Structure 1
């Protein structure tokens, strides 16, 4: 259980690093602001249309008497919105990292430099880095989508679907969020996606301790924008703990 606290500690260290290096914090706000505007519009649309979608998806409940019809559809409407937030948190990070790839790579390098020791640098051209990052993000998001579909289906289970399932959703969201953020530092170190996922699986509680609190904080409007630079910094510090420089693979081409 100590890994949970350690993961949260890396999150706090990353935020402290960003605050102490205000220039990097300032440069990191623009990609997040652009992404936030896009996602705010999407979530507002979801909020207006979720009840209509649930009514369409549950025609079998049309003949149910009160209060059972209302309880079912209200619970499912809330679940749809929670799952929308779950997907938004994951995709927000992926899109923001893609938009801010050059900056976040430089930020991650600066964190390594400030901590001392070797500073791994990607030998790939920028266009190739963007291509690899986009490809890996799509692969992770496909995994997230599969979990999202499974969780949505489980949402039809009375009581459990409206209590346990959202909690599991936040844990899954936090885990995949941490995968996205640590990808910046691990990609610079030459780790392919499969190797990155395998490395994170060795310290699941550490990853959850980092990702779940960040996921919950991202639910607060505008917070995600201001936390992104510190989240990348914290993920880099976490990677430094996980990776033994002597065993790092050669950069992938």
Structure 2
């Protein structure tokens, strides 16, 4: 069977490179299965249309929003310049939020699409794991709830990083690197949720598993996050990212959930739903 698990997980540079390798494997898989790539584009295109419409509205009304948010500046002689700057900051913040939430929204919209795509990847690798299957609506509501929790954690990190971005030197050097690492990790959280839920792993268990394999999690998510920053590239790469996440979970993070494979620590895992 493909993807035999290893008794011990790799750490450091080796684990990071391994994570990068899984993202490339996912892209290679959809390249070999173009119909599944087209199938996976549907929810990403729907999400893109929604985001383009929302950002278009924000771009044309940013100054009005700034005027509503700054009534204290009504009597200022330079209020128009001030509100233009505030409007620009609002639009930039909206753009950053769009980048951070695009994956989560796309996964919620495309839950049935990406579930089938992720299952197909695992079937190609030898079969689906033993785990806890949920009805569609239960799975959808859990996905929405978990995405909101993940978004809360993202904002918890992103807001202070945004403020620190205005600090000279640090804001132009350290903050972008830390921001990419944080965003890459949470991107991995979102993308691996389907394959982990298939194994009956709840949100806290998934977070713990990803933290214990931090280098591989970052290696998978950081390059994808950087690529997703390029306009429209996130739409094209999303099916491959979902495929790569299924491989990452199956071969690296939770291989013991597949019959005949080992857990990273050499112990069998209980994957029954709590």
Instruction: Report the aligned-residue RMSD.
Output: 3.1
SS in structure 2 of the partner of residue 124 of structure 1: coil
For this pair of structures, how many residues does the alignment match? Answer: 243
Instruction: Report the counterpart of residue 160 of structure 2 in structure 1.
Output: 150
- The Cα of 1:90 is off from its aligned counterpart by 2.9
Cα pair 2:199 2:271 within 8 Å, conserved = yes
Counterpart position of 1:242: 253
Please give the TM-score of this superposition, normalised by the length of structure 1: 0.83
Question: Quick check: which has more Rg, 1 or 2?
Answer: 2
Match of 2:177 in 1: 167
Query: Which residue matches 2:9?
Result: none
Q: Does 1:212 align with 2:212?
A: no
Q: Are the structure 2 counterparts of residues 119 and 21 from structure 1 closer, same or farther at C-alpha, using a change threshold of 3 Å?
A: farther
Q: Which residue of structure 2 lines up, in the alignment, with residue 65 of structure 1? A: none
Greater shift after overlay, 38-47 or 215-224? 38-47
Secondary structure of the residue aligned to 1:28 is: helix
| Residue correspondence of structure 1 range 223-234 to structure 2 within 5 A | 223-234=233-244
Structure in which a larger fraction of residues adopt helix: 1
Question: Do the aligned residues in 1 keep the contact of 2:51 with 2:98 (CA within 8 Å)?
Answer: yes
Equivalence for 1:109: 119
Find the aligned partners of 1:25 and 1:79 in 2 and give their Cα distance: 35
Worse overlay, 19-28 or 179-188: 19-28
> TM-score, normalising length from structure 2?
0.77
The C-alpha deviation readout for 1:86-130, integer Å capped at 9, x for no partner, is 432331111111111112111111111111154346421100000
- Structure 1 gap ranges (5+): 63-72
Gaps (5+ residues) in structure 2? 1-12, 77-84, 258-267
Task: Give the 5 Å matches for 1:1-253.
Answer: 1-44=13-56, 49=62, 81=92, 84-120=94-130, 122-240=132-250, 241-245=252-256, 247-252=268-273
Of stretches 145-154 and 193-202 in structure 1, the one that deviates more from structure 2 is 145-154
CA contact (8 A) 1:178 1:207 kept: yes
CA contact (8 A) 2:43 2:113 kept: no
Deviation of residue 26 (structure 1)? 1.1
With over 3 angstroms needed to count, the CA separation of the structure-2 counterparts of 1:209 and 1:145, relative to structure 1, is same
Instruction: Report if the CA contact (8 A) 2:129-2:199 is conserved.
Output: no
